[in-house]
Amino acid sequence: MITAGLLQAGNERGLRTIGLKPVAAGCEPHEQGLCNADALTLQSTASVRLGYQQVNPIALEQPMAPHLAALRENRRLDAERVVAFCRGSLMQPADLVLIEGAGGWRVPLNQRETLARVPQLLEIPVILVVGMKLGCINHALLTAEAVARDGLRLAGWVANVIDPQMTALEENIDSIRACLRAPLLGVVPRLEDPGVEAVAKHLDLDLLLGAGES
């Protein structure tokens, strides 16, 4: 929903937006084959209309880590193949392209590669979404360190309030902001109706575009 919210914010500025989720685990049968709910949201939110297979070329049925879901289906994930799918969709003219991950920076694709290899090969900046709950500072800082170690730039981060009753919520956000050398793009509260328009209201696209995201 954070990705879709950023796309919607771009739509409201009149930008041509594309949202991709190249690998999705946790898919259900639809008329067009296996489809993932998150990928469908990105497809319907983006202003540049792409076919589902362009948005989510690798759809896995079981809702688990992608490499494990692929093993269940006797399939092997490969970063180069994922990147090739992405580059095909990136040939479409667009002002804002967001490529959503699946499970986190160090989630394996296979025995040699993690999902981080995909943005590395594409040489694109990274947006970090931090689920605000106990342990979020450690998660945010370790992930940011891993992104930097992999040679990529953190374009911004979003505080996603998973636990609205979190003790010292504002202090935790301030602590992460003080440590990350990237702009805070917004604090998304726990929403009763988490539609893309509602999420977009809590995100500052100017900060992202000012960071050089494309």
Catalytic residue list: 21
CA distance 132 to 140: 10
Retrieve residue 31's tokens: 């008329």
Q: How many other C-beta atoms can be found within 10 angstroms of the C-beta atom of residue 118?
A: 24
Angle between helix 136-149 and 169-179 (nearest 10): 20
CA distance 143 to 163: 20
Chain center to CA of 178: 23
Measure CA of the first residue to CA of the last residue in the chain; give whole Å.
Answer: 19
